[in-house]
A = this chain, B = another copy of it.
């Protein structure tokens, strides 16, 4: 067999009770979440930030890198890294989350990267506002979207492709959208898009195109694989569905006490346990975080850090829990200013996207 279809089949759902497959494990071994104790850091140290790579990390030498702006620009541009770095820069603190976070908790489980709840991280990204380059190149009034092309190349569901995603022009022109060349004050690591990636604060990770090499202005909405086929909210693959865009609200707590190696169940001693966590939303801001220490039967508000200068970064919260001997299930959920609340149970969709069902942490309190 010499056709791509033989090695790159359509998506499928796991059978009832089907364990994680060898293919899902191969993705989980490469990509990784953020160990939840790292919620303690305002800025996630490099190597703890979640990582999802569709194909391979491309090998790009900085001197060879070029970014091309073409299509419906008045004056197509080509920049090298020195030219990009010479432009005025901004730094933004951004919480990024994979659109597939929570997928492995869905039933039935869509077979893909099997995230639990850890596919998140917060970094300070430094780069040039995309708007600066768009204005420099001059946009043709016929343009409606920009298509961003990464240097990573692969096959997905039978389609050979460079990774490509688009943004509507009004989103792309936002002050906060960056062509980032630094993460936490250092050059991007290879796995986070060296030398340059797109950063779109508030959006799920699929929009933040890594290893960016091209920006094309187009007159029609982009119909490429990652835009029109993948990353859609739908019940069935036949539906066109709605695009995955901004990050749904979520709160996560640092599992308290210490863990069992294999079950990851937590152990605490009786008495006051200070629960801590983070909450974020790429949509309307988080207004409050509520915590349950009885598996969702009752809820009480946590102390939430007030909104500060970092609109797109997570905020810390804390909650005092009086632990008593026995088994407990802790939960946390974020509620937005408009009253959007994380669901306690899954809201299922075929691709396994944006599953922000409230986290559950099993804890044993020993006498």
Contacts and interface: CB of A to CB of B under 8 A. Distances in A.
Interface of A: 1-4, 6-9, 11, 18-33, 35, 37-38, 40-41, 45-49, 51, 53-57, 59, 104, 111-112, 114-116, 118, 153-157, 160, 189-192, 255, 258-265, 267, 325-327, 362, 364-367
Nearest to A105: B22
A8 B262 contact: yes
Contact of A2 (B9, B114, B366): B366
Contact of A155 (B19, B155, B258): B258
- The main secondary structure of chain A at its interface with chain B is loop
Contact of A366 (B3, B32, B33): B3
B364 A6 contact: yes
B35 A262 contact: no
B51 A47 contact: yes
Contact of A4 (B3, B156, B325, B366): B366
Given A4-B364, A29-B33, A114-B25, A261 B46 contact: no
A37 B57 contact: yes
A345 to B, nearest CB: 17
A189 B45 CA distance: 7
A216 to B, nearest CB: 22
Contact of A258 (B30, B56, B192, B258): B56
